[in-house]
């Protein structure tokens, strides 16, 4: 719940930042232009760019890739309409394109970073599950001791975090007791094998 609220607050912040920067740029380029009517166009395209970028950064599917060309077509159509009806509105089209591009970049970057973190955790979890359940490693004492020595502590943290998520434990809660027993069992195995845990 807290992570969702923080994510939403980041998106709102990106939206406000995009609108503020674009309006400041518009005021600098065209001091005589009224900014109130322009704010509606900027806000709409900034929101469209932010949502498109965020969805595109989180997803790897081709369906989401269709959103960005459609949004660009909409922005291009709006620019052509504004420029075609009144050539003095060309600056508005450029400013709206700036708002769209900036918000698209911010949304895509923030969600791609989030996706990268999740994928890195999943890769670690897959590796730990694979290496600690490999039949060849489990049947050979020296190989098992070596794997536990090299990856035991790292895999213990990754698997404890996965168990905490699976059991809907609150963030920062102590790991489940049965996982602590597993870590103790691994430590006992290392001690019996004569291997120091910090090697």
Residue 133 is predicted with a pLDDT of: 80
Domain total for the chain?
2
One domain, residues 107 and 160: no
Whether residue 137 is found in the same domain as residue 97: no
Identify which of 50, 176, 7, 72 has the alpha carbon closest to the alpha carbon of residue 80: 72
Chain-wide mean pLDDT for the chain? Answer: 75
- Report d(CA 23, CA 20) in Å as an integer: 5
Look up the domain containing 178 and give its range.
132-193
The per-residue DSSP string of 138-190 comes to HH-HHHHHHHHHHHHHHHHHHHHHHHHHHTTPPTTPPPPHHHHHHHHHHHHHH
Q: Residues 12, 79: one domain?
A: yes
Q: Along the 199 residues of the chain, how does pLDDT read in single tens digits?
A: 456 677 788 888 889 998 888 888 888 887 777 777 778 888 888 888 888 888 888 876 655 566 667 777 776 777 677 666 666 666 777 787 888 888 888 888 888 888 888 888 888 888 888 887 888 887 887 887 888 788 877 887 787 777 766 666 566 655 555 556 666 666 666 665 565 555 4
Rounded to a whole number of angstroms, the distance between the first and last alpha carbons of the chain is 39
* Same domain (yes/no): 69, 160: no
Question: Looking at the structure, do residues 71 and 150 belong to the same domain, yes or no?
Answer: no
pLDDT in tens, 89-119: 667 777 878 888 888 888 888 888 888 888 8
- Is 171 inside any structural domain? yes
Do 151 and 97 lie in one domain? The reply is no
On whether residue 126 sits in a domain, the answer given is no
How many residues are given for the chain? 199
In a domain, 122, yes or no: no
Q: Are 92 and 140 contained in the same domain?
A: no
Assess whether 108 and 148 both reside in one domain. no
Residue 86 shares a structural domain with residue 163: no
Out of 113, 144, 161, a domain closes at 113
Domain for residue 65, yes or no?
Answer: yes
Name the residue among 97, 101, 102, 107 with its Cα closest to residue 11. Answer: 107
Its pTM surpasses 0.85: no
Query: How far is it, in rounded angstroms, from Cα 190 to Cα 101?
Result: 56
Is there a domain that residue 199 lies in?
Answer: no
33 with 98, same domain: the answer is yes
Q: What is the pLDDT of residue 199?
A: 44
């Amino acid at each position: 719940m807290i992570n969702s609220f923080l994510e939403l607050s980041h998106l709102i912040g990106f939206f406000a930042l995009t609108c503020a920067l674009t309006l400041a740029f518009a005021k600098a380029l065209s001091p005589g232009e009224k900014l109130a009517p322009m704010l509606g166009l900027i806000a709409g395209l900034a929101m469209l760019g932010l949502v498109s970028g965020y969805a595109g950064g989180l997803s790897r599917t081709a369906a989401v890739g269709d959103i960005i060309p459609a949004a660009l077509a909409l922005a291009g159509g709006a620019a052509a309409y504004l420029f075609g009806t009144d050539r003095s509105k060309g600056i508005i089209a450029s400013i709206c394109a700036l708002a769209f591009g900036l918000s698209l970049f911010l949304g895509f970057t923030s969600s791609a970073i989030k996706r990268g973190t999740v994928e890195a955790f999943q890769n670690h979890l897959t590796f730990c599950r694979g290496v600690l359940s490999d039949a060849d490693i489990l049947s050979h004492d020296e190989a098992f001791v070596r794997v536990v020595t090299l990856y035991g502590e790292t895999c213990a943290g990754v698997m404890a975090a996965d168990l905490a998520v699976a059991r809907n434990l609150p963030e920062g809660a102590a790991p489940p007791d049965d996982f602590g027993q597993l870590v103790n069992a691994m430590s006992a195995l290392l001690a019996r094998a004569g291997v120091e845990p910090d090697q």
